[in-house]
Amino acid sequence: MSDVRLSDVCIAAVADLFRNDGEIMVSPMAPVPAVAARLAKKTFAPELVLTDGFNKIIANVAPYGVPDPDQVVEGWMPFRKVFDTLWWGKRHVIMGATQVDQYGNQNISCIGDFQKPKVQLLGSRGAPGNTISHTTSYWVPKHTKHVFVPKVDVVSGLGYDNAAKLPEVTRARHEIRAVVSNLGVFDFQTDDHRMRIRSIHPGVKLDDVIANTGFELIVPADLPETRTPTADEVALIRALDPKGIADKELGA
């Protein structure tokens, strides 16, 4: 299995997050999730709805980052319909996170004091509406203490501790399914919804994960390794990402 790359493991791990999502729109915001969504649609979840990243819903599973002469358009998804779809709840978004904390709060707004930030980022974008309306996951290509922080400077995406302060009716569709990084897969399936390690990628040591995380992770007694994608999946990933853009995202 020497030809299996870390990026393949990450792609399969993100793809696995879409199992049992049903006929919903998946919105990946970076290369690894974009290839992952294609892998899922091509293998176990043909019902997923994917766009070209702009405003067309694409029926076929198109390779990432290259023109597709065989593109089949099955629908229109301008931004006004994106908002309709996300408030409807039929969406699973995989966002990035400049900071993510132990309860799954995410920050893409700014670092430091909001009134006079040390570093201005994008702005909160759709994170507040996404997280309270439908399933959200995060993809972090470089797992460090600067990203995995005890408490985010600004809450863009709603985490479990802040969601818990809202009535059940309001948070009914709130779900942070997982955070996938270059080191492992993390979820919030704990009594108090604090982040736990779901699995560690092959070749990664637990100490590395702990050393690069700025808070105490829940570590299960029996710690699984993230699954290695099958040879068929790896072949598909090569075909779906012919330029190896996902691999480059990991700095390989």
Partner 1 sequence: MIDKRKTVDEIASTLRDGMTIGIGGWGSRRKPMAFVRAIVRSGVKDLTLVTYGGPDVGILVRTGQVKKVVYGFVSLDSIPLEPHFRAARQNGTIEVMELDEGMFQLGLRAAAWRLPFLPTRAGLGTSIMDTNPELKTVTSPYADGETLVAMPALRLDAAFVHVNRADAAGNGQVTGPDPYFDDLFCMAADKAYLSAEEIVPTEKLLEGAPLQSLLIDRMMITAVAHAKNGAHFTECPPDYGRDEAFQKEYAATAKDEAAWEAFRARYLDVSEDEYQKAVSK
Q: Which residues bind partner 1 (CB under 8 A)?
A: 54-56, 76, 78-80, 83, 86-87, 109-110, 114-129, 131-133, 154-158, 162-163, 165-167, 169-171
Contact predicate 216/148, CB 8 Å: no
Contact predicate 201/4, CB 8 Å: no
Give Cα 35 to chain centroid, integer Å.
Answer: 12
User: Shortest Cβ distance from residue 53 to partner 1 (Å)?
Assistant: 11
User: Shortest Cβ distance from residue 217 to partner 1 (Å)?
Assistant: 23
User: Shortest Cβ distance from residue 229 to partner 1 (Å)?
Assistant: 29
User: Shortest Cβ distance from residue 84 to partner 1 (Å)?
Assistant: 10
User: Shortest Cβ distance from residue 50 to partner 1 (Å)?
Assistant: 16
The residue (of 60 and 170) whose beta carbon lies closer to partner 1 is 170
The residue (of 10 and 158) whose beta carbon lies closer to partner 1 is 158
The residue (of 19 and 165) whose beta carbon lies closer to partner 1 is 165
User: Shortest Cβ distance from residue 132 to partner 1 (Å)?
Assistant: 5
Say how many Å lie between the first and final Cα of the chain, rounded: 17
The residue (of 65 and 128) whose beta carbon lies closer to partner 1 is 128
Question: Which residue's structure tokens are 């070749």?
Answer: 203
Contact predicate 103/160, CB 8 Å: yes
The residue (of 166 and 210) whose beta carbon lies closer to partner 1 is 166
User: Shortest Cβ distance from residue 240 to partner 1 (Å)?
Assistant: 23
Burial classification of residue 228, based on how many CB atoms lie within 10 Å of its CB (0-12 exposed, 13-18 middle, 19 or more buried): middle
The DSSP-derived string for 37-100 is HHHHHHTT-TT-BEE-SSSEEESS-PPTTS--TT--EEEE--HHHHHHHHHHT-EEEEE--SEE
**Angle of helix 6-16 relative to helix 231-240, nearest 10 degrees?**
100
- Amino acid 46 reads P
The residue (of 96 and 184) whose beta carbon lies closer to partner 1 is 96
Partners of 51 in beta bridges:
57
The residue (of 171 and 227) whose beta carbon lies closer to partner 1 is 171
